[in-house]
Amino acid sequence: MSPTTAPGQRAAGPARGSRGADVWREVTHHGLFWPLLALVLLILACGVASPGFLDVTVRDGHLFGQLVDLMRNSATPLLLALGMCLVIATGGIDLSVGAVMAIALAVSLTYLDNAADPSAPGTVLTAVLLGLAVGGLGGMFNGAMVAGLGIQPFIATMILMVAGRGIAMLITQGQITTVTSPPFKSIGSGFVLGVPTPVVIAVVTFGLVVLLVRRTALGMFLESIGINREASRLAGVRSRRTTWTVYVIAGVLAGLAGLVYGAPTMAADANNIGLMKELDAIMVVVLGGTKLDGGRFYLGGLLVGAMLLSTLERAVIIFQLPSQTTPLFKALVLIAVCVAASPTLRAMLRGRRRADRSDAPAAPVETTPAQEVTA
Partner 1 sequence: MKGNTRTRTAVAGAISAITILALAACGGGNDTGAGGGSTGDSGGGSGDSIRVGFSQLGAESGWRTANTESVKASLTKDAGFDLTFVDAQQKQENQIKALRDFVAQDVDVIAFSPVIETGWDEVLQEIKDSGIPVVLVDRTVDTTVDDPYVTWIGADFKQEGTTAGEWVKENAPDAKIFELQGTLGSGAQVDREAGFGDVVGDQIIGKASGNFTRAEGKTAVEAALQAYPDMTMIFTHNDDMGLGAIEAIEAAGKVPGKDIQIVSVDGVRDGLQALVDKKFNYVVECNPVFGDQLADLIKKVADGEDVPKETIVIDKAFDQTITQADVDARAY
Residues that bind partner 1 (CB under 8 A): 49-50, 52-53, 59-60, 64, 66, 69, 73, 165-166, 169, 174-176, 178, 189, 261-262, 264-265, 267, 269-272, 313-314, 316-320, 322-324, 326
Neighbouring residues of 121: CB distance < 8 A, sequence distance ≥ 6 = 183
User: Shortest distance, CB of residue 174 to partner 1, whole angstroms?
Assistant: 5
User: Shortest distance, CB of residue 147 to partner 1, whole angstroms?
Assistant: 30
Provide φ and ψ at 185, rounded to 5°. -60, -35
User: Shortest distance, CB of residue 313 to partner 1, whole angstroms?
Assistant: 7
Spatial contact of 98 and 278, defined as CB atoms under 8 Å apart: yes
DSSP per position, 277-292: HHHHHHHHHHHTT--T
Spatial contact of 306 and 70, defined as CB atoms under 8 Å apart: no
Give the residue with the Cβ less far from partner 1, 309 or 365: 309
Give the residue with the Cβ less far from partner 1, 106 or 248: 106
User: Shortest distance, CB of residue 317 to partner 1, whole angstroms?
Assistant: 4
User: Shortest distance, CB of residue 59 to partner 1, whole angstroms?
Assistant: 5
- The bridge status of strand 62-64 relative to strand 57-59 is antiparallel
User: Shortest distance, CB of residue 273 to partner 1, whole angstroms?
Assistant: 8
Give the residue with the Cβ less far from partner 1, 139 or 274: 274
Give the residue with the Cβ less far from partner 1, 188 or 255: 188
Spatial contact of 364 and 28, defined as CB atoms under 8 Å apart: no
Give the residue with the Cβ less far from partner 1, 20 or 52: 52
Strand partners, 160: none
DSSP per position, 172-231: HTTS-EE---HHHHHHHH-EETTEEHHHHHHHHHHHHHHHHHHHSTHHHHHHHHHH-HHH
Give the residue with the Cβ less far from partner 1, 249 or 273: 273
Spatial contact of 241 and 114, defined as CB atoms under 8 Å apart: no
